[in-house]
Structure 1
Amino acid sequence: MWSEAVSAVRDLGRLHDIASVLIRYGFGDLVRRIGMAGALERAGKVLHWRAPDELAQLEPPARVRRALEDLGPTFVKLGQILATRVDLFSAEWTTEFSKLQDAAPALPYADIHAQLTEAFGEAPENIFPRLETSPLAAASLAQVHRAWLADGTPVVLKVRRPGIRPVVEADLRLLARLAEIVEADAPDLRRYRPREVIRQFTRSLRREMDFSAEGRSAERIAARFADRPEIVLPRIHWQWTSERVNVQDCIEGIPGRNLAAVDATGLDRKLLACRGANAVLQMILEDGFFHADPHPGNLFYLPGNRIAFIDFGMVGRLTEERRYQVARLLHGLVRHEAAAVADILIDWSGGMEGDSAPLMDEIDAFVDQYHGVPLKALDFSAMLSDLITILRDHGLALPPDLALLVKTFITLEGLGRQLDPEFDMAGEATPFLEKVLIAHAAPLALARRGWRTLNSALDLIAGLPQDLRQLLRASRTGRLKVQVEVVPLKQFGERLDRAISRLALSIVTAALIIGSAIILTVDNDAALPGGISFGWLGFGAAVLGGLWVLISIWRSGGRH
């Protein structure tokens, strides 16, 4: 309790900033509903609920995006995560979230120099004979400087902004609390699974702030492409890499967005699209560890039609079982197997509370419309987007790892078609899908899964006598309890308890008023030392009790 109070006081200033931005963009009602207004008013803040006219005219997705930009780096990163949740938000929302640019004004080199000296244990000029003080790029969490080693090797230094971690941690605490309040008090927003989204975001952002973790991710993927010279990943210089600084080789090539330079240098666009798609598909379907943001800004094209991937701050992970499920789903889409597609989607969504027949029928009709369409004519990203829309319309959502995967597939096909308008994503993916399905049914894989199942069964059987013994002992001693919790009934009980408390205090207040009036009328000499009348003291207590009842009713009305 004490630690929570200290945390709340510590974050109060940031809470005021967040509420002020939300109000400025026309979300004052949301601030009131989640209780932030009351907290700020108790802290002596005066809020104005009317948004400027030019902001009020924006569509809701644009207003939310602008608000996230003003709230700072943590919320910009949150918007980028929300852009991957195509299962929760429609295209107009994800498109707007995708516009969030992770850019920030560059810090003075003196601040960066101090951070580098602290991280390296010595001045950076002792390590790098040449270091450019002007950054190559400046983002919300870090900025990048170019340097050269003593042997002339060009490198880049990705340096975390000084003092950014406490700000991010404060924002994460507030977001976690905000998500709890939204789920409890805003039923119409509960379908967006705010607590789950914030948990995913917290893990992702903390991992992104650890630059040594980014280096390990890059090396893990690089090891899988060691025998494929057409795929290039920057080498990490571990002697200078830490949580706050990442030192890696500088990639010299054509930025992924500069297609004019690709044509001017004579690179083969079709081959680049094929190699890039194959690399990402291998990461996803064979390795289960993939670059989750393969957009043109994270790619370089090199001589010899080679492709370099950079920035491994956002990566995805898929278990072997999940990769098999993904292969079944995509193969079912390509081969028009509606039942398999529907079964997998329902399993991923945790099942449906009601009748699943309408969803099955809609998916069957969706898959049937592609019957007879050649693979090359399939728009893979549009097909996935339409499928997720069906899921969203039925109130279902994907697990976070799969939502990230779907976004990666859509980004990958967009990149492929940008290089080659005739790019065939379905055709490129089919061999990988078939390979996963065949490997899943291989004798060795069957034996391995059977052995794991047998071990689990044996462990269960071995522990059964002990579990039964404990159950019987609890039953004999009367310690066996069965607890059934009905959440709506519990909430009703809490509200009833609050109502009874108010009623009891109202009765006491009324009794004090009547009693005090009688005392003042009958015995004017009754007084405490100092001349304070018992009657007036009773009236004072009644006023305080009445005010408490009124404030309690007002606050309850604001929440419910």
Structure 2
Amino acid sequence: MIRSVKNLNRLLTIGRVLARHDALFLLEELVPMARHLSSLLRGGKPSLSTGRPGQRLADALTELGPSFIKLGQALSTRADLLGEEMAADLSGLQDKLPPFPAHEARRIIEEDLGGPVAQHYSAFDDTPVAAASIAQVHFAITTEGREVAVKVLRPGVEAKFHRDIDLLYWLAEWAEFALPRIRRLKPVETVKTFEDSVTLEMDLRFEAAAAAELAENFMGDDNFMVPEVDWLRTGKRLLTLERVAGIPVDEVDRLRDAGHDPVGILAKAAEAMFKQVFRDGFFHADMHPGNLFIGAKGELIAVDFGIMGRVDQSTRRFLGEMLLGFLSGDFRKVAEVHFAAGYVPADQSIDSFTQACRSIAEPILGRPLHEISIAKLLGQLFQVTETFAMETQPQLLLLQKSMLVAEGVGRILDPHINMWQLAQPLIEGWMRENLGPQAKVRETVTNVVYSLERLPRLLADTEKTYSMLVNQGLKLHPDTVKTMFGDQRRKTPGGAMLPWILAAILAALLILK
């Protein structure tokens, strides 16, 4: 009861903000009177925001603060729920807030590292270079004389987030109860995914680990750089990284003036995206222009590793086969891949789904090559989920958003070149290696080797079980015997033979002894 009262009170506050920006449309299905409530909560005043629904919603979420900015960014991956236009508007949501005071940043550093700031940094710039919803960044110099960037968690953000996440759970639970048809979209599970993502993002040690893993994956690669983590100056609320210098990837004129070829940069970006998704299954899921710079030698420099994505080997195989099917026009193959992966229930019509895949792909793949958007293709595919009872695949939604952002960067660098065209040889090579006959042979051999490695343990377990049977006997409860044998005798013609078959097996074991 107390939880409901607290959430209703918080919901009223949120409702007023949404109403001021004429953004209550998301509640219209749950609350039929939402349109009239919007005018009532505004007190007859005009909306603070104009433009498309997604733009108005982005303005409202920005006013509501850190948790809702992150929620908006998460919703930008859900074109299946909101539509492409609104999802695109939310993807441009700026994760920027006014900075918090420098003395608060210093206090957090001292609490996390122990001792005064001067004990760890010989110089610390009190003016932040960036302030986002979760943290802000200061430049500093370590006591060893190394230039670093220090990311400090925003004070009190954890408490605010947990208050708002409880509200989101409450709303999701009510939505599942009141609207059974949306259960397949897993609203409660979606909130859980969002909670896990932001919880990780609020522990900067996890971001440090993500940066270190990505750097390890690209060790020895001169085309992609990740700043080095200073682990001695990193904690739950504090992350210290090597300071890097470069030109933002979207400042094309500056890049040309510095002697960089935008097409060459685009090729490196396509290769880096391919390697992260297909080779490693671990990708930077927030690679917008503000997080990607070009170094003096033309290398890509990534920053901000709070949002990362993973795709397992089976999902990568699914993606490879699906892309191959789409690009070759084999829509039946695309449909079969979805059914084999379990993304479409087996009771659905594979012929109808094949037709749906064709209807989605033909208008996109029929365009000039540089206008083809694989991310848009995936987004439209996700929108047919309701028709075919497909369940939400969070890892694919995050990947689709990342691909959309990558395509946007590519079009800034050169609007006449498709980055997937540049990556196509890499993707085809990966598919030959992982989906061709040799790959199937290799997979079979791997499974056999794995089985052989398990064989000694399996034999040891069998011997142990056999020893127990001989020395201690096999004791079964009468009800168990009745369940095993009594019903079988009545239901199956050979049911009466089953006890004798088991007895013969046990006798054989005793003879072999």
Alpha-carbon contact 1:28-1:49 (below 8 Å) kept? no
Within the candidate set 13, 16, 22, 1:17 is matched to 13
* Letter aligned with residue 300 of structure 1: F
- Alignment of 1:432 onto 2:426: yes
Structure 1 residues 139-538: aligned runs within 5 Å: 139-187=132-180, 190=183, 192-346=185-339, 347=341, 349-351=343-345, 354-367=348-361, 378-391=372-385, 396-440=390-434, 441-442=438-439, 443-450=441-448, 473-474=479-480, 476=482
The residue identity in structure 1 corresponding to 2:431 is: L
Instruction: Give the superposed CA RMSD.
Output: 3.8
1:115 to 88, 108, 114: 108
Specify whether residues 453 and 325 from structure 1 end up closer, same or farther in structure 2 by C-alpha distance, changes over 3 A only: farther
Which shifted more, 131-140 or 89-98? 89-98
Structure 1 residues 469 and 292 mapped into 2: Cα distance closer, same or farther (>3 Å)? Answer: farther
Match for 1:295: what amino acid?
H
CA distance in 1, matches of 2:431, 2:475: 44
Aligned match of 2:127 = 134
**Distance between the aligned counterparts of 2:112 and 2:260, measured in 1?**
40
Letter in 2 for 1:316: G
Residue pairs, 1:66-145, within 5 angstroms: 66-145=59-138
State the Cα deviation string for residues 299-322 of structure 1 (Å, max 9, x = none).
011112111011111111011111
Partner of 2:138, secondary structure, is strand
Answer yes or no: is the 8 Å Cα contact 2:54–2:89 preserved in 1: yes
SS of corresponding position for 1:426: helix
Distance 1:471 1:64 in 2: 63
Q: Does 1:54 align with 2:52?
A: no
Distance 1:275 1:348 in 2: 34
Counterparts of 1:300 and 1:209, CA distance in 2: 24
Q: 1:165 to 1:476 in 2, by over 3 A?
A: same
Contact 1:231 1:279 in 2 (8 A): yes
**Secondary structure of the residue that 2:73 maps to in structure 1?**
helix
Deviations 1:156-179 (A, max 9, x none): 110001111111111111211110
CA shift, 1:420, in A, is: 2.2
The structure-2 alpha-carbon separation of the partners of 1:454 and 1:112, relative to structure 1 and needing over 3 Å to count, comes to same
8 Å CA contact 2:287, 2:405 repeated in 1: yes
**Structure 1 residues 373 and 75: CA distance shift in structure 2, 3 A:** closer
Q: Which amino acid aligns with 1:183?
A: E
Which moves more between the two structures, 350-359 or 194-203?
Answer: 350-359
Hey, what does 2:510 align to over in structure 1?
Answer: none
Instruction: Determine the C-alpha separation between the residues in 1 that align with 2:322 and 2:128.
Output: 44
Taking a change above 3 Å as real, the CA distance of residues 334 and 268 of structure 1, as seen in their structure-2 partners, is same
- Are the structure 2 counterparts of residues 392 and 95 from structure 1 closer, same or farther at C-alpha, using a change threshold of 3 Å? farther
Q: Do the aligned partners of residues 153 and 23 (structure 1) sit closer, same or farther apart at CA in structure 2, a change above 3 Å counting?
A: same
The one-letter code of the counterpart of 1:448 is T
Query: 1:334, 1:375 within 8 Å by CA — same for their partners in 2?
Result: no
Deviations 1:331-353 (A, max 9, x none): 21222221121223344534265
Q: CA deviation at 1:71?
A: 2.2
Q: C-alpha separation between the residues in 1 aligned to 2:432 and 2:171? A: 46
Give the superposition deviation at 1:139: 1.0
Check conservation: 2:150, 2:241, Cα contact below 8 A. Answer: yes
- Distance in 1 between the 2:169 and 2:481 partners? 40
Q: Residues 80 and 385 of structure 2 are in contact (CA less than 8 Å); yes or no, is this contact kept in structure 1?
A: yes
After TM superposition, give the deviation of residue 438 of structure 1 in Å.
Answer: 3.1
Letter in 1 for 2:150: L
What residue is the counterpart of 1:538 in the other structure?
none
The structural deviation recorded for 1:8 is 5.6
Q: Deviations over 1:189-231 (max 9, x none)?
A: 5565322321211111111111110111111111111111221
CA distance in 2 between partners of 1:192 and 1:89 (Å): 12
Instruction: Provide the rounded CA distance (Å) in 2 between the counterparts of 1:270 and 1:52.
Output: 53
Q: Deviation per CA, 1:372-402, whole angstroms, max 9, x where unpaired?
A: 9886674434444444444566564540001
The alpha carbon displacement at 1:28 in A equals: 9.6
Does structure 2 conserve the Cα–Cα contact (< 8 Å) formed by 1:234 and 1:251? Answer: yes
**Is the Cα contact below 8 Å between 1:256 and 1:300 reproduced in 2?**
yes
Distance 2:88 2:12 in 1: 29
Q: 1:383 to 1:295 in 2, by over 3 A?
A: same
Q: Deviations over 1:35-85 (max 9, x none)?
A: 9x9xxxxxxxxx965664523976543443333223221111011011122
- Higher Rg of the two aligned structures: 1
Q: TM-score, normalised by structure 2?
A: 0.79
Bigger drift between 422-431 and 232-241 goes to: 422-431
Q: How many residues are matched? A: 463
**Do the aligned partners of residues 29 and 328 (structure 1) sit closer, same or farther apart at CA in structure 2, a change above 3 Å counting?**
closer
SS in 1 for 2:240: strand
Output the CA distance in 2 between the equivalents of 1:475 and 1:126.
73
Alpha-carbon shift at residue 371 of structure 1 (Å): 7.9
Q: Is the 8 A contact 2:58 2:90 kept in 1?
A: yes
Q: Secondary structure at the match of 1:18?
A: helix
- Inter-partner Cα distance in structure 2 for 1:456 and 1:344: 31
Q: Distance in 1 between matches of 2:219 and 2:416?
A: 29
Counterpart residue identity of residue 323, structure 1: R
The 1:377–1:74 alpha-carbon spacing in structure 2 relative to 1, beyond 3 Å, is closer
Partner of 1:251, secondary structure, is coil
More deviation, 157-166/346-355: 346-355
For residues 406 and 246 of structure 1, the distance between their equivalents in structure 2, rounded to whole angstroms, comes to 28
CA distance in 2 between counterparts of 1:234 and 1:29 reads 40
Rounded to whole Å, the distance in 2 between the matches of 1:471 and 1:364 is 58
Change in Cα spacing, 1:282 to 1:210, as seen in structure 2 (3 Å) is same
Post-superposition offset of 1:33: 5.2
